[in-house]
Amino acid sequence: MKSVRIIALKQDRKRILEHLQDSALVQVKHSEKAEDGFDRLKTDAQIKQFERNSELMGQALKILGKISPEKKGMLDSFKGRKVIDPDEIGRIASESAKTISICQKLCRLDKQRADYAAEQVRIKTSVAQLEPWKKLDIPLNTKDTKTTAVLIGTLPKAYDNTALSESLAAECPELVFEFEILYSSASMTCITLFTPKKQRAQAEKALRTIGFSQPINPTSRTPVVKSKRLNDKSADIAQKDKEAEQEIASLAKYRERIAETQDYFYFRSEKYRVIAELDQSKHIFVLNGYIPEEDCDKLEALCQQAAPSCVVEFYEAGEDAPIKLKNNSFSEPAQSIVTMYSTPSHDDIDPTPILAFFFYFFFGMMFSDAGYGLLMIIATTIAIKVFKPDKKMKNNLRLFRNCGVATVFWGLVFGSIFGDAPAMFYKMFTGNEVTMKELLPWPVLDTQKDALMIMILSIALGLVHILVGMGCKFYVCLKHKQYAQAFLDTGLWMLMLCGFAVLAVGMAVNPLLITIGGGIAIASAVGLVLTQGRAKKGIFGKLIGGVASLYDITSYISDLLSYSRLLALGLTTGVMAQVFNMLSTLFGTSVIGIFFMIIIFLVGHAITIGLNALGSYVHTMRLQYVEMFSKFYEGGGKPFEPFSLKSKNFKTKGSKEE
């Protein structure tokens, strides 16, 4: 990575920045303040406006998605973004004002629909409140006549004519009244009471005593008339809401245009963020950034094309420079696994090539079925060719395609092709027993009968994996001239593990190897005891520190046992496949039997693929992160993020993302 400094006339700023954004070559360096003699432009207002416009577009797209969702197939997620010519961005910019108006209209219509929905709730509530009063043939707010007081309201429990008469008589014996119960339930009784006007106060007092309350929203019309008016209003609002919904749906034809304009405003906001980072004087501006060393010539040519008078300077980047990973076609798909953990720092090595090999290898050993692997290869290849996905999705598909190749290899080693499907079909249609070992022309390992051998193989592969991780640590220490740490802290442990491995092989092959392996292990242990406490004070402290360091052997044993999952998941895949094969043959070879065989076979193997592919992916990743990365990898680097036309909905022709 190189640091770059671009010095140019302000009149060329727009053209240079557009070329830089199109090319995605440079990451702009952030600094808190300008250098002496330069100033910074404040672009906060413009950025906020662009962000508001972008948010408006996003809101409009959500509204369209709710009313008129896009019709997408199950496989559309593999499709890449629309590719447009760079000149199209000018068209999008020229139409942005009209697009903003369309989005504002969509938001206004959506707001109207929200208001309509709120009004419908209010109407529904009002109609429900009037329902108990439907027998009342006078308005709820009826006034007293010249001689008679009219009291309309509710009581908080159920009353019949007798109970209400007795309650009122008990409260006010001299009260003269007539009443009508309009509605009664366990929690409410609606009544109309008439009494001489001169006794109104007494009637109110008696009614209050038993919990009387007047209607919350008394009307000047009868409840029946009021309910009809409310229902008519509700129907009118429903019609207006439908018209608004139809108008929103009619604007769905602008969906793609809105999405493109949303990206355009995001571009503009990014550009103005960069402008805010430029050191500027009256006539010139200065851009500081980072660029991969292999792109320096491209940048010089691009700047000369945009503005022949500009000056481009390169110099060594400091420790704060970002990291750009560069790998070949075999390793590149696994970069996402590395960055998911952490981008390597300047003190690390790029672990992607090593991780890629072991990731494919271990995934294949866990999934371990040649039929499943072949399906993965075919499916991912078709998806790449047909859907032309974006770079990130393409790399994910290539990752699983490579895993599929490893799966085919291990499936053939374990003699698993859709479980024991070939042997099962042979027996089903011929009646003769046959095993996969007998059917295949090469020697195979049976995950059930040869489980011990596969377990030993898993542990051996785990040892290699751990030693490779430790070897990376050894290399990093040598690279930084930390020779003591390389040979004493890492090298001795590598020798000890190798000694144990030779000893284990000797127990099965040749007693001489036991002596050699034991000697290596003991010599390494002595070396660790003598050197691991070297940072302690005093001979006793150094000795205790050295002896205590041997306790770390337990963590290495634990790490090695973790690789037993290679056997466990491989065994699971094979057993599940065989179980579904067996179930599919239960109905015989009749027409109905063949029909059920096909259904059970397809569904069963689909379940097996889904569950075991996920398990293999997760556990393979765990082996990389926990068992290998813990031996050497620090991470913590900052990824290279160039100034570019980052977008969600489209990409420009000829861009690095294409």
| Model confidence pLDDT, tens digit, residues 343-371 | 998 888 999 999 999 999 999 999 999 99
Predicted local confidence at residue 350, as pLDDT: 92
Phi, psi angles (nearest 5°) of residue 443: -70, 135
Give every CB contact of residue 573 below 8 A, 6+ residues apart in sequence: 366, 367, 368, 369, 372, 416, 608, 612, 616
For residue 90, name the pLDDT band (cuts at 50, 70, 90): confident
Dihedral sign computed on CA atoms, order 572, 575, 578, 580: negative
Q: Report the share of the chain in percent with pLDDT over 90.
A: 57
Domains of the chain: 1-40+278-322 (3.30.70.120), 42-129+228-269 (no CATH), 141-214 (3.30.70.2750), 332-427+451-632 (no CATH)
Q: Which of 62-76, 210-224, 226-240, 385-399 has the lowest average pLDDT?
A: 62-76
For residue 656, name the pLDDT band (cuts at 50, 70, 90): low
- The pLDDT of 492-512, averaged and rounded, is 88
254 CB neighbour count, 10 Å cutoff: 18
Q: From its phi and psi, is residue 184 left (phi > 0), alpha (psi between -120 and 50) or beta?
A: beta
pTM greater than 0.85: no
Whether the predicted pLDDT of 654 surpasses 80: no
The string of pLDDT tens digits covering residues 629-643 is 988 998 888 999 998
Q: How far apart are the C-alpha atoms of 502 and 506, rounded to whole Å?
A: 6
Torsion of CA 43, 44, 46, 52, to 10 degrees: 160
Give every CB contact of residue 469 below 8 A, 6+ residues apart in sequence: 627, 628, 629, 630, 631, 632, 633
Whether the predicted pLDDT of 447 surpasses 80: yes
Q: How far apart are the C-alpha atoms of 445 and 409, rounded to whole Å?
A: 12
Q: Which of 45-49, 69-73, 287-291, 300-304 has the lowest average pLDDT?
A: 69-73
Return the higher-pLDDT residue of 252 and 656. 252
Number of DSSP helices (H) and strands (E) in the chain, helices first: 24, 10
**Whole-number Cα distances in Å, 225 to 134, 142, 189, 232, 458:** 9, 14, 21, 11, 84
Q: How far apart are the C-alpha atoms of 144 and 643, rounded to whole Å?
A: 79
- The pLDDT of 303-317, averaged and rounded, is 89
- The pLDDT of 242-253, averaged and rounded, is 94
Whether the predicted pLDDT of 657 surpasses 70: no
Catalogue the long-range contacts made by 607-614 (C-beta closer than 8 Å, 24 or more residues apart).
Answer: 607/576, 607/580, 608/372, 608/419, 608/573, 608/576, 608/577, 608/580, 609/372, 609/375, 611/576, 612/366, 612/367, 612/372, 612/569, 612/572, 612/573, 612/576, 613/367, 613/372, 613/376
Whether the predicted pLDDT of 411 surpasses 60: yes
